[in-house]
């Protein structure tokens, strides 16, 4: 069995790493802790803008129709 990621999965992985690379930092985590928050709206909004939140949602509902692994 081949458990390696497909080319499409690797592209998604790289895109998410690029989006979150500068946003998700130790400093940001500490700031969220100080604020008493565990939800990073900035990171969430960046993923939403890139269309990453609907990857596993069926196309019939305007998602990408991919699987849960993506």
Q: What is the CA radius of gyration of the chain?
A: 15
Per-residue model confidence as pLDDT tens digits over 29-60: 999 999 999 899 999 999 999 999 999 999 99
> Which of helix, strand or coil describes residue 61?
helix
Evaluate whether residue 67 is within a structural domain: no
Q: What is the pLDDT of residue 67?
A: 82
Instruction: Note the pTM of the prediction, 2 decimals.
Output: 0.79
Q: Which domain holds residue 20?
A: 7-61
Q: What is the pLDDT of residue 58?
A: 93
Q: Which residues contact 50 (CB under 8 A, 6 or more apart)?
A: 15, 16, 19
Q: What is the pLDDT of residue 55?
A: 93
Evaluate whether residue 1 is within a structural domain: no
Evaluate whether residue 66 is within a structural domain: no
């Amino acid at each position: 069995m081949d458990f390696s990621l497909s080319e499409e999965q690797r592209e998604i992985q790289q895109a998410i790493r690029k989006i979150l690379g500068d946003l998700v930092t130790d400093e940001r985590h500490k700031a969220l802790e100080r604020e008493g928050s565990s939800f990073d709206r900035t990171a969430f909004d960046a993923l939403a803008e890139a269309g990453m939140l609907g990857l596993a949602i069926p196309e019939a509902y305007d998602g990408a129709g991919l699987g849960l692994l993506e």
